[in-house]
Structure 1
């Protein structure tokens, strides 16, 4: 066999191996044998996704309080002598809460009364003087009467001013006497003492209620929402309230008021910015919920608040959020994890659609024990699946595909776009001959070790070798 024939056979074998290898790569990629080893996809069980407490349902914190709250403000000019109640005490209307120290006020009243008596004595003396001047005026000469008249008018004006001062002093005494009568502050409502603020100020130093009393009777729930989420709430919006101890225990209600005019004061409303040197205060606002029933609730009980989107309605079967379902050309499928923890397209059968829940009934192809992934762009069959989201490497090629997609959207093991030279254009029907013409010099020799011989064939030496072989063969035959 001459060298050219050997080279052709070898080239054909290499082409066959290349085609076979490429086909195997595509097959393995689609069946979990390839892809990028760093690619991992987080999956969740169907049962967890379809449970009442799953999904991206936003929750807010709330506390049960009375429909009426009475804030007792402290007189900043007076000191408290004694407090008769403590936080948590039940009170009735008229129950003494605390008493002001009135010793100083009592002294002020006594001093004011002395001043009042003095002014009354002044008026008496002035009136006596006026009477005396009037008598003297009548017996005085005509030229002297003008001076008497002026003196009398001056004293009359002094009396009028003193009378005005007396009325003012009486009002002052009356006010202080009334404050004495209010030395003991009593409750205006029946309820529970919620808080006692000894300082009388809030965290920012602004004036705040000294004591707060919650009225007994029907309850309401006070929730707190941040400035970034308040836009998602509206009055008359139905809500579900869950016990923090037993989330299966729920109550229903409606948002009755969103108070964006008054910020909620809290020492936990600070958040750090990613940039900058300081902290900024996240504004929070209170909102209130009217309950359909208060059975089982306690004053001060803390609750979770959710918007009522039908999540407590029990449905038979599997109802899956539509975002997990891909529908193409009349077929529906989900990205599911197989028994080898590899991702695959799983065809599912769809039943009814619930517009309020945005969910389809799954009538076939999926069980509650199956684990599925959200259908993000770039998913492929065979990628590894994990149930612990911390195991996902978001720096892997699967999550960084921008600018790397080839004409057919395929990627090599290292995440780079595949170069498919010789895979489609160059492998035509006469590929062996073309491959031989394009092979580099010195690629093949007769022994197949790829060191020498090919270049000699291309230069024409191959023909001489062929003739020499034929002549040698002829001589041997003659012998």
Structure 2
């Protein structure tokens, strides 16, 4: 067998190597092209109807839904008596505090005497009338009698007017006298009594009696401006307490203020010219319990989870794009063309976004849009579920 020259062998090996590398390069290029084609496909997903699983966490304090504070009021007179004690159960209309006011009592007594005097005058006039002298002349006597009757009628009308004025005075005097007795607005338990109050003008801020109704508790707290935009009256909540970690209460938001606390509003206005001004402003809210009060007590600190019960159109979070402070999604029409649609966002969780306006329940959205998309562009896509 004829031996091949050494340089010829090297040449053949080099050619074979080039062929192999070229083939591999073509195969790899083909795979990359195929992969790029696959990656260029957009994913399209039909919208769903439902609600997201997100919730809002708040904190608050348990307070009495119905409570009454009786403050010292020097305008009612001198404090005479506090007729209840701590722990007493009171009913509506029950006397709590009695003031002594000589002027109010005197005014009432005077008004009553004036009314009684008018009543006596009316009685005497109706009973005895007036005396008429008879002359024996029938015509003259008749004329005199008629004149006397008219006089009695006029006097009676004047007395009736006087009685109406006297009755008004009695009512006013009685209202002033009744105000010296402070009564309970409803049923409850007396939780505070203070009989030693200052009689100066500064004493008007002192509590004489504090009554609460523990059978009807509420939860009150404050929420941020962000939560203000995402919560509404009527939403259901779940309530827990560190004191009883294994128990849960339910409730509903019954009130959300549209205005921050006065002191906080003033602070926000004062700091509006600085960065972050107003970020700590809080808005009061109230929750009514819908379950049994149980072991909850006034003053307890509680944690609140607001359940998201808002139903709406759901799209993947990844489908939402933001442009110039507005939100959009790309939809796909029946011809396979993309369309940019402005939407209004609702609540969201890690996967789904609620669309409150802009889409219909039969819309299809592109879940992986990119910056190259244009309105009316035909796209290659695959539907996902």
Per the normalisation by structure 1, the TM-score is: 0.38
Q: Does 1 or 2 have the higher relative contact order (CA < 8 Å, sep 6+)?
A: 2
Structure 1 or 2: more strand by fraction: 2
TM-score under structure 2 length normalisation: 0.45
Which structure would you say has the larger Rg? 1
